Amino acid sequence: EVRLVQSGAEVKKPGESLKISCRASGYNFIDYWIGWVRQMPGKGLELMGFVFPGNSDTRYSPSFPGVVTMSVDKSVTTAYLRWSRLRASDTAIYYCARVAGGWTLESHFDSWGQGTLVTVSS
């Protein structure tokens, strides 16, 4: 069974850094793209970008230029999303999701993590 388990909720202050995680199991981690999706309070889904665990290739959506850094650690089958300086507008739920197409990026998300709530407030 494919599982994506995300780290717990975070409360941070503006200007602080943060790294959240998404641990994968039940499949060959290095063979499938992982995407990150933002959902601001009461709003819809926004795709932030993708990372390919096999070679750490990343594709960031134009709407999130330089806002976050995506990375992986193959040894623990975990993907990460990192902010160097948080802003109040980063308050949202962040989901990781597996792209069904394997090495092919152009495909749908077939499994989702449970989401990580990030609250940024002074």
Partner 1 sequence: DIVMTQSPDSLAVPLGERATIKCKSSQSVLSTSINRNYLAWYQQKPGQPPKLLVYWASTRASGVPDRFSGSGSGTDFTLTISGLQAEDVAVYYCQHCYSTPFTFGPGTRVDIK
Contact residues toward partner 1 (CB under 8 A) are: 37, 44-47, 59, 61-63, 95, 97, 100, 105-115
Least distance to partner 1 from the beta carbon of 38, Å? 11
Cβ-based nearer residue to partner 1, 8 or 106: 106
Cβ-based nearer residue to partner 1, 9 or 45: 45
Least distance to partner 1 from the beta carbon of 14, Å? 27
What is the token pair recorded at 7? 């780290």
Pairing of the two strands 116-120 and 57-60? unpaired
Q: How many other C-beta atoms are found inside a 10 Å radius of the C-beta of residue 50?
A: 19
Least distance to partner 1 from the beta carbon of 33, Å? 11
Cβ-based nearer residue to partner 1, 27 or 109: 109
- DSSP characters over 38-87: EE-TT--EEEEEEEETTTTEEEE-TTSTTT-EEEEEGGGTEEEEEESS--
